Structure 1
């Protein structure tokens, strides 16, 4: 009996070590990738000219996409949220399976990548572009999306940035809510009107009140950030963002 319990203990210890090792490997790989291709911009001190020119909005980071694309041509962009763990490359594969559990270097890792739905057209041309990411227990990937159930968290992080090789976007977050795995948003919608009708139907479910409000009828495309949730079986937590093109 003692040998049995020792065996169980050793096996449990091995399992915990394997999980920790997997998490650590993923964090190290993304940290290394970020250090190679991402440069944070320094905040410029305000000057006082006679007449101030209209400010040009830019993202708070620069990404070397030439270097990143040499690493993997499936790179679609980079998503960034200041003062959070979200600072990741975004992939676009031939299906939604590969990057579910593979990193940018295509090595297996349970954490996988943040990735666009393979059905989406690159360039945010569809009524809804979906970015998927795991809800990792160590808080990495898209685990922080669930923090948008708290208004105070939203107030500190109302904006993200999505940089791509051809265009950068400020993401104004306008809704967050729990949904099922078969929610209509995963259809991607065939027309902007379908997307607009959907937003009207879920607006009251939002867990936060946005700082910036938009006329839903004026929206022609959205970005949906999706991760697992645990309110019920196969639940998802979705954050809806309006992509605003910037330099």
Structure 2
């Protein structure tokens, strides 16, 4: 009787151990393996198509207030600096680069803001996703406000470095970045960091009048945790760029790094 009971206990332990191994493999090991493989695949692809940022000259883009653009405004390089990126992803609109931060990614713009948050440059599943230009914004960054989203992952992946800009001293040492487009390198000056809810009016993309742009600029400066010495009037005459990601100060909190194109 005792022997049968002991055998039953041993079998139960073996079954429990086997089931635990199975659960671990199915729920943790395999998902993490698929995520790791997807990320590695995308990173290799990024390296293959990454533009030579350091050797792309800055250009003067079209101003949103310019009704008749000059030849200087619209002349693009003979070969687009992001041609390789677009050859892989037809929805690619540029490449974001902020030196010494890890922010170095292609930007896509889809029919909504969801698809490329769970798909890679090749359109395949990738939980890390891409950096995504809001579908409501102008794809050539010529509008008053261009909002770019990406996930916040551990190990400073994707837009996690945006959170580092909470510290104004970090902003001081990482003041500039750029977006590479068909026209060349468009340099950005960062001026503010904000923590806002996901439904904040900061995410507005439609501006018709000068007053609407000034009011929006005042909203940014008023909401910012800190900002540089710039006025709402000055900001209303520039094209803005917002980098947005999830943060964890409260439910649905978003961290926003705000900048403007230097060429305006």
Which segments of 5 or more consecutive residues in structure 1 lack a partner in the other structure? 43-55
Shift of 1:159: 1.0
CA distance in 2, matches of 1:176, 1:20: 35
Secondary structure of 1:38's aligned partner? coil
Cα RMSD of the aligned pairs, angstroms, is 2.7
CA distance in 1, matches of 2:221, 2:58: 28
More helix by share: 2
**Matching residue within 80, 83, 93 for 1:76:** 93
Q: Retained in 2: the 8 A contact 1:114–1:132?
A: yes
Give deviations 1:174-203, integer Å, cap 9, x for gaps. Answer: 111110011002221323532432332342
- For 1:139 and 1:16, the matched residues in 2 are separated by 21
Counterpart position of 1:7 = 19
The alignment covers a number of residue pairs equal to 228
SS of 2:49's partner is helix
Partner of 2:146: 129
Partner residue in 2 for 1:236: 254
Task: Give the structure 1 partner of residue 71 of structure 2.
Answer: none
How big is the shift at 1:167? 4.3
Q: Residue 42 of structure 2 is aligned with which of 29, 40, 45?
A: 29
Q: Which residue is equivalent to 1:184?
A: 201
**Counterpart for residue 233 of structure 2:** 217
Secondary structure at the aligned position of 2:153 is classed as coil
Tell me: CA distance 1:208–1:64, structure 2 relative to 1, closer, same or farther (3 Å): same
1:112 aligns with 2:119: no
Give the greater-gyration-radius structure (CA). Answer: 2
- Structure 1 residues 204 and 68, CA gap change in structure 2 (3 angstroms): same
- Pick one of 43, 54, 60 that aligns with 1:41: 54
Q: Is the CA contact (8 Å cut-off) linking 2:193 and 2:257 kept in structure 1?
A: yes
In structure 2, the partner of 1:50 is: none
Query: Do the aligned residues in 2 keep the contact of 1:176 with 1:237 (CA within 8 Å)?
Result: yes
Looking at structure 1, the residues matched to 188 and 53 of structure 2 have their Cα atoms a distance apart, in angstroms, of: 18
TM-score, normalised by the number of residues in structure 2: 0.76
Structure-1-length-normalised TM-score: 0.80
Consecutive unaligned residues of structure 2, counting only runs of 5 or more, are: 1-11, 60-78
Q: Deviations over 1:37-65 (max 9, x none)?
A: 322537xxxxxxxxxxxxx857xxx9842
Residue 154 (1) aligns with residue 167 (2): no
